[in-house]
A = this chain, B = another copy of it.
Amino acid sequence: MEITQETDYAVRCVLYLSSIGPEQTVRIEEIAAEMQIPRSFLAKILQKLTQADIVRSYRGVKGGFRLSRPPKEITLLQVVEAVEGPVAMNRCTREGSLCDFKKTCVVHPVWRRLRTIVETYMKDITFEKLKKERRQEAMAQNILTVRRKKT
């Protein structure tokens, strides 16, 4: 019942790209440094995000990554699914075929419903929202810093 480290990295990565102007590109190197993600692992994650059309990649000298659409149109669910695949709580509810209890299992519907709940929640969290909160956090930090300097 846990998201993986990889997913956490992916979310932070997209969050970082959300704070970048839509015209700029950012190199893996920079994202890795800023978000403290192992460089080569991040490269893999960005491949998945590219394939899911969440980010777009540009090769060559001035290359790098940027979001393929505005943060408003990118949800947490999309990012999670891009790296983890479909959010099924339970193997049975995904593979279906392999469960011997098939029709009579009363637990399946419970897991399926939980899945829907989780999906609904994550679908509602856009990176626009996260970005805004992030800016507010930064400002709050700033105020604190200024105050500290005054004293």
A residues touching B (Cβ–Cβ < 8 Å)?
Answer: 1-3, 5, 7-8, 11-12, 15, 36, 76, 80, 84, 87-92, 100-101, 103-104, 106-107, 110-111, 113-114, 117-118, 121-122, 125, 130, 133-134, 137-138, 141
Partner of A107 from the list B11, B114, B117 (CB cut-off 8 Å) is: B11
Report the separation of the CA atoms of residues A3 and B90 in the bound assembly, to the nearest whole angstrom. 6
> Binding site of A, secondary structure by majority: helix, strand, loop or mixed?
helix
The residue in chain B whose Cβ has the minimal distance to the Cβ of A134 is B106
Copies of this polypeptide in the complex: 2
Partner of A84 from the list B1, B100, B101 (CB cut-off 8 Å) is: B1
Q: Which residues of B contact A80 (CB under 8 A)?
A: 1
When the two chains form their complex, are residues B1 and A111 in contact, meaning their CB atoms are under 8 A apart?
no
